[in-house]
Amino acid sequence: MVSRAYTVAFQGVEARIVEVQCAVTAGLPAFSIVGLPDKAVSEARDRVRTALTSMAIALPSKRITVNLSPADLPKEGSHFDLPIAFALLAALDILPADVTETVVALGELSLDGTLVPVVGALPAAMAAAEHNRSLLCPLGSGAEAAWVGQAEVIAAATLGDVVRHYTGQNTLSPAEPGEVSLGPQGRDLREVKGQERAKRALEIAAAGRHHLMLVGTPGSGKSMLAARLPSILPPLSAAEALDTSMIHSLAGLLDEGGISRARPFREPHHTA
């Protein structure tokens, strides 16, 4: 019998659904992971085995094979730990197989079974919603993922909590979204003295949503003015904040699951 669970693999800011297949068959005892995994994914077998041992769950003396499909898509990151454990628990008849097939899971496992927060929970929740599945993630990633209201998000602290939730012993409440912030109050256009023509150009560009190119000699204040342009821009709309936060999520920049409505400003070096 082959059990199935689901997770995601990241390609840029896009999260692609990955099917985690687990088979426990007769043969020499072994635990192998196939499907183009990187080093972090390959090491998941040791974390999963030790985490299950800490829960007094012994792996059978059989051959355990985990396949990450599609097999030609590179799998990177430690967030594959939880879905691999999820599929393995279904293969051992500890979790119902029909339940694991309706959940997208991601999370890193500690050796004692604690779930460690990972990056990318927000794009993963978006992918789960698109495929009409719920999302299972670590407790520290729940507030971030809950911003996607179309998918139910279950945030658990330990692997034991996951087992108790899906076997009906102790049901967990869905995660709540984090706080909305307007971002730090940084550089403001009102601080600029003089530069009336340049400030007028910034105001016109901000009001009309126009592109803007500043040209001038070094030291004339171009970067100083550009850095203060976000201070006169309106806050991000809900859709814009979600798109921007998906990038922040993959970069690990979301603070306690909160989403910022401040306009982002990037300042690459002039030699770039």
**What CATH number is attached to the domain comprising 146?**
3.30.230.10
Are 119 and 251 found together in one domain? no
Is 104 in the same domain as 195?
Answer: no
Which among 138, 166, 194 is the end of a domain? 166
Shared domain for 49 and 141, answered yes or no, is yes
| 174: in domain | no
Looking at the structure, do residues 133 and 186 belong to the same domain, yes or no?
no
Domain encompassing residue 13: 2-166
Query: In this structure, are 204 and 125 located in the same domain?
Result: no
Task: Report d(CA 156, CA 192) in Å as an integer.
Answer: 49
* Residue 148 domain-assigned (yes or no): yes
The helix (H) or strand (E) run that includes residue 92 is none
Same domain, 204 and 77: no
Residue 272 lies in a domain: no
Q: Distance between CA atoms of 144 and 199, rounded to whole angstroms?
A: 37
- Whether residues 232 and 255 fall in one domain: yes
Q: Is 270 a member of any domain?
A: no
In three-state secondary structure terms, 104 is strand
* 173 in any annotated domain: no
Domain boundary among 119, 135, 166: 166
Give the model's pLDDT for residue 222. Answer: 93
- In 3D space, the residue among 34, 40, 1 whose CA is nearest the CA of residue 20 turns out to be 34
In a domain, 24, yes or no: yes
272 residues of the chain, pLDDT tens digit each: 799 999 999 998 889 999 999 999 999 999 999 999 999 999 999 999 999 999 999 999 999 999 999 999 999 999 999 999 999 999 999 999 999 999 999 999 999 999 999 999 999 999 999 999 999 999 999 999 998 888 999 999 999 999 999 999 999 999 998 877 766 667 899 999 999 999 999 999 999 999 999 999 999 999 999 999 999 998 888 788 888 888 889 888 887 777 878 888 888 887 88
d(CA 192, CA 221): 10
pLDDT of residue 255: 73
Is the bond leading into 70 cis (omega within 30 degrees of zero)? yes
Contacts of 81 (CB under 8 A, 6+ apart): 44, 47, 48, 51, 107, 108, 109
Indicate if the alpha-carbon torsion angle 268, 141, 44, 27 is positive or negative.
negative
Note the pTM of the prediction, 2 decimals.
0.84
Domains: count for the chain: 2
Strand stretches in 91-184, DSSP E: 103-105, 108-109, 115-116, 134-138, 153-156, 180-181
**Cα 97 to Cα 170: distance, rounded to the nearest angstrom:** 19
The structure tokens 């604690």 sit at 114
Q: What is the dihedral of CA 39, 44, 47, 53, to 10 degrees?
A: -150
Are 101 and 150 in a shared domain?
yes
Do 25 and 149 lie in a common domain? Answer: yes
Q: Give the end of a domain, one of 144, 166, 188.
A: 166
In this prediction, residue 185 carries a pLDDT of 66
193 & 238 share domain: yes
Going from the C-alpha of 175 to that of each of 5, 137, 179, 210, 247, the distances in angstroms are 21, 10, 13, 39, 21
In a domain, 40, yes or no: yes
Same domain for 99 and 196? no
Query: Is 265 inside a domain boundary?
Result: no
